[in-house]
């Protein structure tokens, strides 16, 4: 094991359990000082019992450096504290890992506005809040790395997750635009769609045989498999990688394509609804994409 992150300060949101915890632990093992963020709750007692405290203790017992942060990333001021406390304690911030998340699954026609807003506030707004807090520091030091977590629910699709999928696809666009806007400052931004069993995925329904098989498959994919790619994307060795979409599924790593035009058709006189029906629709139909779920695309067992 090398000290690939020696001297760097990495902030990880949602780092009290699951994927975030494994990322925080591995970043520390590779030499980083870590801001371990995990929202404890509304009350002071809830925040004192945040699992982030246990992760920090584990890092410190292994000789690493870490601090606890219990901010709610959906609140801009609290989100900013994640970066500010890292800078105050360790003198700088080098990478932000936006991992925190919640699920409020509901079939679309039954989804409430609150279920929609809660998920958007944590995932999309929260990732913006933490990223924005670090942007000034990254610009000033002419270096920095963002690693955001997306999902194949957004990239491909899934039942009952319109809120989550919309937020996760929005994060892909957010990351891409951060990569474009901050490229001149040597700041990079990438996303990862993880497959792993965690506290959040434990809330996935398992009623039908297909759902039970999906959950059983998820349980074979441990959270620690995601962390190595995150460490690499935070390290200087990945300085040429930005604006990309990765996925990790047990021992498999995938690179996703970005939306690009696949067909085109021109009419000098323009289009009418009738000519669209007679000419364009038949020409394009062979290139249309079927409605599928993530499990339809990743239809083999993880290896």
Provide the β-strand partners of residue 195. 249
Task: State the catalytic residue, choosing from 127, 146, 164, 232.
Answer: 164
Q: In the annotation, is 164 catalytic? A: yes
Provide the β-strand partners of residue 69. 37
Q: Which residues are catalytic?
A: 164
């Amino acid at each position: 094991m090398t000290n690939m992150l020696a001297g760097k300060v990495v902030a990880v949101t949602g780092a009290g359990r699951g994927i975030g915890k494994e990322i925080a632990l591995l970043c520390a093992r590779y030499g980083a000082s870590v801001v371990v963020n995990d929202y404890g709750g509304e009350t002071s007692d809830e925040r004192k019992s945040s699992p982030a405290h246990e992760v920090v203790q584990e890092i410190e017992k292994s000789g690493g450096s870490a601090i606890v942060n219990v901010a709610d990333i959906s609140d801009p001021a609290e989100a900013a504290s994640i970066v500010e406390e890292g800078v105050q304690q360790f003198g700088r911030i080098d990478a932000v890992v936006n991992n925190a998340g919640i699920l409020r699954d509901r079939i679309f026609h039954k989804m409430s506005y609150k279920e929609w807003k809660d998920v958007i506030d944590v995932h999309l707004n929260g990732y913006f809040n933490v990223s924005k807090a670090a942007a000034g520091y990254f610009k000033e030091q002419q270096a920095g790395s963002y690693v955001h977590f997306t999902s194949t629910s957004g990239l491909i699709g899934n039942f009952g997750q319109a809120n989550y999928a919309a937020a996760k696809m929005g994060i892909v666009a957010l990351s891409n635009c951060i990569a474009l806007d901050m490229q001149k400052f040597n700041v990079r931004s990438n996303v990862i769609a993880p497959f792993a069993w965690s506290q959040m995925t434990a809330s996935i329904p398992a009623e039908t045989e297909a759902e039970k098989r999906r959950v059983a498959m998820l349980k074979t994919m441990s959270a620690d498999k995601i962390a190595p790619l995150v460490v690499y994307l935070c390290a200087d060795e990945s300085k040429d990688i930005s604006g990309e979409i990765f996925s990790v599924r047990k021992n498999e790593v995938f690179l996703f394509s970005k939306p690009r035009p696949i067909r085109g058709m021109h009419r000098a006189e323009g289009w009418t609804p009738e000519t669209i029906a007679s000419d364009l629709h038949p020409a394009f139909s062979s290139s249309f994409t079927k409605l599928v779920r993530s499990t339809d695309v990743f239809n083999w067992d993880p290896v």
